[in-house]
Amino acid sequence: MAQALDLDLVKVAPQAKPPVCKILDYGKYRFEMQKKEKEAKKNQKVIELKEIRLSLNIDTNDFNTKVNQAAKFLQQGHKVKVSIRFRGREMAHTSLGIDVEQRFAQALEGKAVVDKQPKLEGRSMMMFLSPSPTK
């Protein structure tokens, strides 16, 4: 029957009992499926992770600049990783790093939600922020 119409017999749902088949032009069917996949990929939103690096003894103006940059990233819908790298004797004062990161999170209150609280890993402390859900 498919040969008489110069079309192909295509299994649409092979797992179904009995398997579902259609008589159609396979080349056109494949093209339509690829087109749907491309459209779905285009509509997906890619969330990128941006990093802001701070130091333990950061000055007020530098801190505000970093906060503004993080706010810009969050407004674009990206997640932000805030990290502090401890050098030498700074490892003895990790509590100061927690204070800096908490202050950073409070400066972005309303714009960001803390995904992961500040955590020390090796010589660096990291905290993850994501854009706050809009109402």
Stretch (H or E) spanning 75 = helix 60-75
Neighbours of 96 (CB within 10 A): 15
pTM above 0.85, yes or no: no
Domain boundaries, the chain: 8-43, 49-131
pLDDT at 40: 85
The Cα-based distances of 130 to 16, 46, 54, 55, 112 in angstroms read: 42, 14, 18, 21, 6
Residue 132 near residue 110, CB atoms below 8 Å: yes
Percentage above 70 pLDDT, the chain: 99
* CATH class label, 49-131: alpha beta
Residues facing residue 24 across a β-bridge? 8
pLDDT at 8: 84
